[in-house]
């Protein structure tokens, strides 16, 4: 009875966010203009707002002319001022804390969180949760598992006294929603206090085994779930343990798509819903049952989409079939912030994640991109764990890590596809690069997750990747190859 009440309360507490989202969807341009106007008005007195004279900006066009696109590197000096304790830097309202994150590459980033930014996350989550309950009635009768990452990093406080990091994922939600969510969770939040990832997985599985009424498995990286399932009790299957499992929520786009066949084998007949695109900096899209792909998060942030020619488009200007790079303006003070995430418009009001525009490996001028490598793997029909990464040697080359017996033949086929790229083929012809070398690995998913954690990434930030730019993946993944 308590679980049923918790689920009902969670749905009802999400209703207002869902209504705002549906109302905004009927006039997306107007909703986005209102969000931008509110952002400019609320932050006109900040140091960043004064620099670009937010107070005198009266239209989207004027905002785009006056305020430049920025990367985190360009905002970092401003963030450092916040970390030192200075008030009114990027926002007029106070910064509550900072979240530390590391993306697919590069050093850690510190993202300032304000009450406004948290509400923007809540707007997106609320719209999704209400839609989930409306379209999956079986969810009301049982508990849910939302992935928990262990506390692998020590507590951190900035020089100015601001805390770094949420204690748990539920901290994104309102205080009321946090209490409701905890009442329907299958795994207690105390598991996050486990400092070792493997021990965390074992504790998680022990709790899930006791949860016969499990209805939802919500994780980010599908390989997190496939790895977790290796801790199943001997001789037991997911269908036997959780006969009423109604939904799996995880990434399904980009490199994550290759794990879907394994999920379908582990959980036959259980629907898999792709998550929207979300970063530590902000939300890009929200999954909805009736939509062929997640919908732009139009009640969260002011969103712009950059086409190949460099022109910024708004949500009502997107064209089906085209790809765009995402730019956000959020309540955390990041104005016209380039995420480098690329999305494709699959239908009006529906976008899917394609890959990272900035994920390019370039040892000798070969300019290999995540999108090109991913397209190669898709054409070849590769499944399971497979990833390309550079390896320094004489000459340098790329290693293809995969779990397959015919790894040498597969590597040779990948090499043939890569040579269709002018820059890669030119480097090969000059002898600047050696041919792709196949590396057979075991337990690749688990080793990849552990390698990303060692690089400083949080569990929720770790996305499956077709291509990584770091040079030390052979040491992290191990494996064997033909001499």
* Sign for the pseudo-dihedral over CA of 31, 36, 39, 44: negative
Q: What is the pLDDT of residue 136?
A: 92
Percentage with pLDDT > 90 across the chain: 60
Which of 143-157, 243-257, 460-474 is the least confident region? Answer: 143-157
Q: Are residues 193 and 320 in the same domain?
A: yes
For 317, the token pair is 């200007």
Q: What is the pLDDT of residue 251?
A: 87
Q: Average of pLDDT values for 379-383?
A: 89
User: Does residue 428 register a pLDDT over 90?
Assistant: no
User: Does residue 359 register a pLDDT over 90?
Assistant: no
In a domain, 364, yes or no: yes
For 472, the token pair is 């030390």
Domain that holds residue 178: 1-358
In a domain, 384, yes or no: yes
Beta strands 437-440; 397-402: pairing state: parallel
Q: Are residues 230 and 378 in the same domain?
A: no
Q: Are residues 21 and 55 in the same domain?
A: yes
The set of residues, in sequence order, having a beta carbon less than 8 Å from that of 237 and lying 6+ positions away, is: none
Q: What is the pLDDT of residue 22?
A: 96
For the chain, what is the radius of gyration of the CA atoms?
23
For 190, the token pair is 């105390």
Q: Are residues 247 and 327 in the same domain?
A: yes
Beta strands 247-250; 295-296: pairing state: unpaired
- The count of other CB atoms within 10 Å of the CB of residue 269 is 7
Model confidence, pTM: 0.79
User: Does residue 199 register a pLDDT over 70?
Assistant: yes
User: Does residue 28 register a pLDDT over 70?
Assistant: yes
Q: What is the pLDDT of residue 107?
A: 59
CATH number at residue 106: 3.40.50.12780
In a domain, 134, yes or no: yes
129 close to 14: Cβ distance less than 8 angstroms: yes
Q: What is the pLDDT of residue 105?
A: 42
Q: Average of pLDDT values for 21-45?
A: 97
Q: What is the pLDDT of residue 154?
A: 66
User: Does residue 170 register a pLDDT over 70?
Assistant: no
Cis peptide bond upstream of 395, omega within 30: yes
Band (27; pLDDT cuts 50, 70, 90): very high
In a domain, 155, yes or no: yes
For 400-412, write each residue's pLDDT tens digit.
999 988 899 999 9
Band (104; pLDDT cuts 50, 70, 90): very low
Q: Are residues 201 and 311 in the same domain?
A: yes
In a domain, 404, yes or no: yes
Coil vs helix vs strand at 439? strand
Q: Average of pLDDT values for 464-471?
A: 88
279 close to 458: Cβ distance less than 8 angstroms: no
Q: Are residues 105 and 240 in the same domain?
A: yes
Q: What is the pLDDT of residue 460?
A: 64
Q: Which residue among 358, 374, 391 closes a domain?
A: 358
Q: Average of pLDDT values for 99-107?
A: 61
In a domain, 482, yes or no: no
Q: Which residue among 358, 387, 415 closes a domain?
A: 358
Q: Are residues 423 and 285 in the same domain?
A: no
Q: Are residues 466 and 351 in the same domain?
A: no
User: Does residue 227 register a pLDDT over 50?
Assistant: yes
Q: Are residues 386 and 340 in the same domain?
A: no
In a domain, 91, yes or no: yes
Q: Average of pLDDT values for 229-251?
A: 93
Band (195; pLDDT cuts 50, 70, 90): low
413 close to 404: Cβ distance less than 8 angstroms: no
User: Does residue 330 register a pLDDT over 80?
Assistant: yes
**Type and span of the H or E element at 260:** helix 260-266
For 291, the token pair is 């939509």
Q: Which residue among 302, 323, 358 closes a domain?
A: 358
Q: Number of structural domains, the chain?
A: 2
User: Does residue 176 register a pLDDT over 80?
Assistant: no
d(CA 191, CA 446): 19
Q: Are residues 46 and 185 in the same domain?
A: yes
Q: Are residues 113 and 249 in the same domain?
A: yes
In a domain, 483, yes or no: no
Which of 63-77, 128-142, 165-179, 194-208 is the least confident region? Answer: 165-179
Q: Are residues 55 and 74 in the same domain?
A: yes
Cα-Cα-Cα-Cα torsion 308, 314, 317, 321, nearest 10 degrees, comes to 50
Q: What is the pLDDT of residue 106?
A: 47
- The count of other CB atoms within 10 Å of the CB of residue 188 is 13
């Amino acid at each position: 009875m308590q679980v049923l009440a918790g689920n009902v309360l969670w749905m009802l507490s999400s209703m207002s966010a869902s209504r705002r989202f549906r109302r905004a969807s009927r006039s997306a341009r107007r909703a986005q203009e209102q969000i931008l106007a509110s952002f400019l008005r609320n932050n006109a007195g900040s140091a960043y707002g004064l620099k670009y004279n937010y107070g005198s900006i009266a239209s989207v066009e004027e905002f785009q002319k006056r305020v430049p696109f920025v990367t985190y590197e360009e905002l970092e000096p401003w963030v450092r001022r916040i970390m030192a304790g200075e008030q009114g830097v990027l926002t007029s309202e106070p910064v509550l804390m900072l979240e530390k994150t590391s993306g697919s590459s590069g050093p850690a980033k510190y993202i300032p969180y304000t009450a406004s930014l948290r509400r923007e996350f809540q707007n997106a989550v609320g719209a999704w949760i209400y839609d989930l309950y409306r379209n999956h009635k079986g969810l009301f009768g049982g508990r849910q598992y939302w992935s928990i990452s262990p506390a692998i990093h020590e507590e951190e406080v900035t020089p100015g006294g601001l805390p770094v990091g949420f204690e748990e994922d539920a901290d994104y939600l309102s205080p009321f929603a946090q209490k409701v969510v905890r009442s329907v969770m299958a795994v207690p939040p105390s598991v996050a206090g486990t400092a070792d990832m493997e021990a965390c997985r074992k504790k998680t599985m022990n709790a899930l085994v006791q949860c016969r009424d499990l209805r939802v498995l919500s994780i980010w990286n599908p390989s997190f779930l496939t790895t977790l399932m290796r801790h199943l009790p001997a001789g037991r299957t997911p269908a036997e343990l959780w006969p009423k499992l109604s939904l799996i929520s995880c990434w399904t786009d980009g490199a994550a798509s290759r794990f879907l066949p394994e999920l379908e084998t582990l959980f036959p007949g259980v629907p898999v819903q792709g998550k929207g695109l979300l970063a530590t900096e902000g939300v890009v899209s929200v999954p909805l049952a009736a939509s062929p792909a997640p919908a732009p998060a139009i009640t969260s942030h002011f969103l712009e989409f950059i086409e190949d020619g460099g022109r910024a488009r708004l949500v009502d200007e997107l064209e089906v079939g085209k790809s765009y790079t995402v730019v956000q303006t959020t309540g955390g003070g990041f104005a016209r912030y380039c995420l480098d995430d690329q999305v494709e418009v699959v239908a009006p009001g529906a976008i899917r994640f394609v890959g990272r525009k900035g994920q390019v490996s370039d040892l000798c001028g070969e300019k290999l991109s995540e999108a090109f490598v991913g397209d190669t793997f898709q054409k070849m029909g590769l499944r399971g764990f497979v990833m390309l990464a550079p390896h320094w040697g004489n000459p340098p080359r790329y290693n293809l890590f995969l779990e397959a017996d015919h790894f040498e033949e597969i590597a040779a086929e990948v090499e043939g596809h890569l040579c269709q790229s002018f820059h890669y083929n030119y480097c090969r012809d000059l002898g600047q690069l050696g041919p792709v070398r196949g590396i057979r690995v075991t337990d690749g998913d688990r080793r990849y997750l552990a390698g990303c954690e060692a690089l400083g990434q949080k569990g929720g930030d770790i996305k499956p990747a077709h291509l990584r730019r770091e040079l030390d993946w052979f040491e992290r993944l191990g494996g064997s190859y033909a001499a």
